[in-house]
Amino acid sequence: MLKNTQHLLDIMARLRDPEQGCPWDLKQDFATLIPYLIEEAYEVVDAIERNDMDDLRAELGDLLLQVVFHAQLAKEHGLFDFEQVSQSLCDKLIRRHPHVFADAVFETDAERQAAWEQAKDEERQAKAKPEEPASVLAGVAASLPALLECEKIQDRAARHGFDWPDTPPVFDKVMEELEEVREAWKSGDPHHIREEIGDLLLVVVNLARHLDVNPELALKESTRKFTRRFHYIERQVASSGRSLTDCDLYELDAFWHQAKQALKRKAD
């Protein structure tokens, strides 16, 4: 296994060789690789959700390639190499699992989670500049999908006491923000409308967190459900020899309700 890892590193170095390497690989830098890194991560997730293990093996390889590529670029700039990336990860895993690699004892999952978060907080404090004390919100990547970033930010704040004590007030806040969206819409101010929509989405994420629901996955599932129902509508319209634009909303809505029933029976 280690032989294959070294072989992979050697291949990457050869691809980046200034004289004998691949022209495309030689053109890349950290920034240009970002879209590929994100795409490969999502393709790993897709393989998992489809329960396709053969594809998962291949997609994990593609994701690993991105790690190796970035490590090679860093090595060329004298920053770090793949071995140092691995060492950093090993150190972190050992540090965050004292109940496995040291003599710490945790009686519950909550205790283990608290210790994990404390270790992360200590790491953030260590990275902070002396003149700028580390925020408890530090380290949440701004490039995350908006729902995921929002959830992580709120989790951090909640762990430090900034949260509703229970769920009912969150429902009230959702209704309050929804009414503020309505008022903004009446004002006709696009900036104000966007701001209030953002506030509504933020508190909906908070509600999802209180209900122990992953908002990113929940929205993805609902989007897929919408897609399945819309495909049903398209099939019904096509079977009548028409296009969607030939139908009024009343008819399309009727097909929508048919889709809900038909797909529910199919799922059952």
pLDDT at residue 145 in the model: 87
Q: Residues near 137 by Cβ (< 8 Å), separated by ≥ 6?
A: 153, 156, 157
CA 164 – CA 172 distance, rounded (Å): 11
Q: Residues near 216 by Cβ (< 8 Å), separated by ≥ 6?
A: 145, 147, 148, 151
The residue-averaged pLDDT of 211-231 equals 92
pLDDT at residue 182 in the model: 97
Per residue, the 3-state secondary structure of 195-258, as one string, reads HHHHHHHHHHHHHHHHCCCCHHHHHHHHHHHHHHHHHHHHHHHHHCCCCHHHCCHHHHHHHHHH
Question: What is the residue-averaged pLDDT of the chain?
Answer: 91
Q: What percent of the chain has pLDDT over 70?
A: 96
pLDDT at 59 over 60: yes
Q: Is the pTM of this model over 0.85?
A: no
How many CA atoms are closer than 13 Å to the CA of 186, on its beta-carbon side?
6
pLDDT at 110 over 90: no
Contacts from 192-200 at CB under 8 Å and sequence distance 24+? Answer: 200/174
pLDDT band at residue 85 under the 50/70/90 scheme: very high
Token digits of residue 164: 């509703």
